[in-house]
Structure 1
Amino acid sequence: MTEDVLEDIVLAIPLPALMVDQTERIIAANTDATSLLGQNIVGRHFATILRQPQVLDAIEQSLTSRSAKKARHLSNDGAQDTTYTVECRYMNGVASEGAVMVTFQDTTHLEHASQMRRDFVANVSHELRTPLTALMGFIETLRGPARDDPAARDRFLKIMADEANRMNRLVGDLLSLNRVESEERVRPRQQLELTGLLQSTINSLRPLAEDAGVVLSLDVKNGPLSVTGDGDQLRQVFTNLIENGIKYGASGGSVKVRVLPADRDLAMRGPAVRIQFIDKGPGIDAVHLPRLTERFYRADSHRSRQLGGTGLGLAIVKHIVNRHRGRLRVESELGKGSVFTVILPR
């Protein structure tokens, strides 16, 4: 096989690829390979280019045994760590005594997905272990020292009920998140009257607001507004954001819901409506804002757990808004409250 034909074969492969002959030198490489490993690698010994032991071993074994081998190549693209699956395949009839074709397939997204699953399992386990440990401890106490103490028994039973409710909320939010994620690519087609849906949600949450000393208000200047969406899911979004305003912004004394329709919204590049949820509470430090919609992320873990938060509410909101092809914006400043804005296309 001529060098020109060999080069054409390597260039045609839609992955970073190079060829190593029996002299252990790189005899061909495509542009993707030079972008990954560096320029002017042809003619050099492969060990001076690929310095990772598992990759070197795979190539050496493939050259010796004339069989297929596999390894992992770890790198960095300047923005994040990357992972490649390296495939080594021996080819007869290449060069004088055969050669090994080495290809690099980017599996970074699979590694990230796997890490997300591991983190998710670890977070769920942690969230469930805390109330379970408390329940086991109180059950042991009720069986022993507090067996004949009615006051302690009533106090412990109340705490146990709170912990059980917390676990129930967590399981409910996990099921809701799973359902929302499974439907995220299915665009809703129901016509909804937005103002009535918001007013109904506010009315259902008014008792909670009154207990917290918070005044709820709805500001709509343009009358009834129609959007395409899933009524139950949008109610879940509005409920979550108003509840958060009541729980975490109660010190401000008010939560206002403002509806702002526009014939052309810059974020949506077309007709849209912005629903703002405004509180005058303590606000959120800017360092937390980019991560608020991550699963189990809490700006104030202790306070969130005290108020019964599961750490999944804003993740659910994000997925529902994504399903509606909308946007979620968060603005906050310490001491000046927060504004959560849901932007929906019209």
Structure 2
Amino acid sequence: MAETSTHTRAKRTAKLSAGRLYQNRWMLAAGVIAVLAMHVAGYRSVPFTAMVIGALALFALVAPRTPAARRLADEAARTERSPLDRLSGEKLAAAVADPLIIFDRDGMVVHANEAAQSAFGAIPPDLPLLLKFRAPEMQSLIEAVLGGEGNGHATDYVERVPFERVYRVTGSAVGRGTGLFVLAFRDQSEARRIDRMRADFIANASHELRTPLASIAGFVETLRGPARNDPNARDQFLQIMQNQTGRMARLIDDLLSLSRLEMKPYLKPGARVDLRQTVEAVIASLAPLAAETGVVVERDFAEGPFEVHGDRDELFQVVQNLLENACKYGQSGGRVIVSMRRTVGEGEPEVEVSVRDFGPGIPAEHIPRVTERFYRVDVETSRAHKGTGLGLSIVKHILSRHNGRLSIKSELGQGSAFTVHLPLR
């Protein structure tokens, strides 16, 4: 790097010298001719002649430049500069996607890039940085950077307006002896949100598994004690224990399904799936459940084939989860309508598969959250129907893998409609 810089400077100096000589070429030529004429006329001192010619050349090199020559030299210098030399601090800051604030040794803002202006509002030049960021952790960071206490200071900062965002802020000097410093803000909000979701997921999964385990442990203790010789109590408790182990098995199966879907979020183009055949297979498989809950499943299919690219087993699970929920939670309505049609959504042709029940419906405030893991509108009703709280979350993940989406419409006392939208490709 140093050798390249030295070579560039030498090349620039040589070109500048040649330019000076070229600029004063006529004066230099006239002087050389005059000296040679004197030499021919009788003044034959060779050292004197060489000395005069050298003096003329030196004068040509240091002579003041005319405005035109100065302009040409400036243009040549600009051309010779490297790309990094031509970059300004503002251009570099603008190229950074994260908020970036440059300030001087007095703590006054020199420049804030567009990302910083967008994140923290107007940050004009010469604004005292300590007045802009009043949080104690930011005050300490700025003072430490200005105090020259090492390099690369960092802290976490929470900006709560207009909505909460968490930043990892680093502060350091810009080069050596520039008198400038920089604050770089890295948005950690999404990472923190994912950490909270992971913690909530583990807590919810632990709670869902702990509840049936505690129930089983209690019944085992009772069977080994007071109910040891009571056949009626033993049969009753064993049935409850079987139900609880079934609940844990369903929860573990759903957790494993969700984990597999998250491990492969993108679906490779696969075989074509006949949705009509898939939905018919789901209806046939859930006929015993529909009979048990007293629900009649009605079909409303448009004419023609309904084929999409995808994974048949996953699409089967989507329709199965929706129809199973409709039979369980909408059984008071006595019927469920499964419809299928082609439509144009967001400018692209798609297939809509809708499962409509006539049960109690879902309150509007719950609809945006029903696809969250372990979210239940009514916990007791969900557990009574052997729900795990993961069915709709699995549906959402499968549809994301198929570039599809789920829409939900519900009205209290009128029932709910869950519609799957899949692109026709």
**TM-score of the superposition, structure 1-length normalised?**
0.91
1:122 to 188, 200, 203: 203
CA contact (8 A) 2:130 2:142 kept: no
Which residues of 2 match residues 235-246 of structure 1 at below 5 A?
235-246=316-327
The structure whose Rg is larger is 2
Secondary structure of 1:175's counterpart equals: helix
Correspondence for 1:286: 364
CA distance in 2 between partners of 1:342 and 1:157 (Å): 40
| Alignment partner of 1:32 is 2:115 | yes
Structure 2 unpaired stretches of 5+: 1-86
Structure 2: distance between partners of 1:40 and 1:324: 44
Tell whether the 8 Å contact from 1:41 to 1:49 is kept in structure 2 after alignment. no
Match of 1:51 in 2: 134
Q: Deviations over 1:67-100 (max 9, x none)?
A: 211111111352x3101110111234344xx343
Counterpart in 2 of 1:256? 337
Which of 406, 410, 424 is the matching residue for 1:328?
Answer: 406
Q: Do the aligned residues in 2 keep the contact of 1:72 with 1:86 (CA within 8 Å)?
A: yes
Deviation at 1:216, TM superposition (A): 1.6
| Distance change (3 Å), C-alpha of 1:245 and 1:35 | closer
Larger strand percent: 1
Larger RCO (alpha carbons 8 Å, 6+ apart): 1
Q: Which moved more, 1:14-23 or 1:270-279?
A: 14-23
Q: Secondary structure at the match of 1:245?
A: helix
CA deviation digits over 1:147-188, x for unaligned, max 9? 222211111111111111111111100110111222331244
TM-superposition CA deviations, 1:31-77 (whole Å, max 9, x none): 33233334355324322111111222222223331321111111135
Return the offset for 1:331: 1.0
Rounded Cα–Cα distance in structure 1 between residues aligned with 2:119 and 2:413: 48
Q: What is the CA–CA distance in structure 1 between the aligned matches of 2:93 and 2:395, rounded to whole Å?
A: 47
User: Who is 2:158 aligned against?
Assistant: 74
| Length, aligned pairs only | 337
AA of the residue aligned to 2:274:
E
Shift of the 222–12 alpha-carbon distance from structure 1 to 2, 3 Å rule, reads: closer
Maintained 8 Å contact 2:278/2:316: yes
Distance 1:308 1:183 in 2: 28
Give the one of 396, 402, 418 matched to 1:318: 396
TM superposition score normalised by structure 2: 0.75
Query: 3-state SS of the aligned residue for 1:70?
Result: strand
Is the alpha carbon distance of 1:168 and 1:40 closer, same or farther for their aligned partners in structure 2, counting shifts above 3 Å?
A: closer
Of 303, 328, 337, which aligns to 1:247? Answer: 328
Task: State the distance in 1 between where 2:256 and 2:269 align.
Answer: 20
The match for 2:249 is: 168
Distance of aligned partners of 1:257 and 1:340 in 2 relative to their CA distance in 1, 3 Å threshold: same
Out of 180, 186, 199, the residue aligned to residue 105 of structure 1 is 186
Equivalent residue, structure 1, for 2:345: 266
Residue 322 and residue 30 in structure 1: after superposition, are their counterparts in 2 closer, same or farther (change >3 A)? closer
Aligned to 2:280: 199
The 1-side partners of 2:117 and 2:350 are apart by 46
Deviation at residue 235 of structure 1 after TM alignment: 0.6
Shift of 1:319: 1.1
Q: 1:88 touches 1:102 (CA, 8 Å); kept in 2?
A: yes
Given the superposition, is the C-alpha separation of residues 10 and 216 from structure 1 closer, same or farther in structure 2, using an over 3 Å criterion? closer
Distance across 2 between alignment mates of 1:11 and 1:106: 17
Letter paired with 2:398: I
Shift of 1:304: 0.2
Paired position in structure 1 for 2:168: 85
Distance 1:257 1:14, change over 3 A: closer
Cα distance in structure 1, aligned partners of 2:123 and 2:404: 47
Runs of 4+ with >6 A deviation: none
Aligned to 2:143: 60
Deviation at 1:282, TM superposition (A): 1.3
Identity %: 42
Q: 1:42 to 1:189 in 2, by over 3 A?
A: same
Work out whether residues 188 and 324 of structure 1, in 8 Å CA contact, stay in contact via their aligned partners in 2: no
Distance in 1, Cα, partners of 2:94 & 2:352: 50
Displacement of 1:27 after TM fit?
A: 3.6
Measure, in 2, the Cα distance between the counterparts of 1:270 and 1:140.
60
2:421 is aligned to 343
Higher mean displacement: 44-53 or 126-135:
44-53
Q: Does 1:138 align with 2:216?
A: no
Which amino acid is 1:266 matched to? G
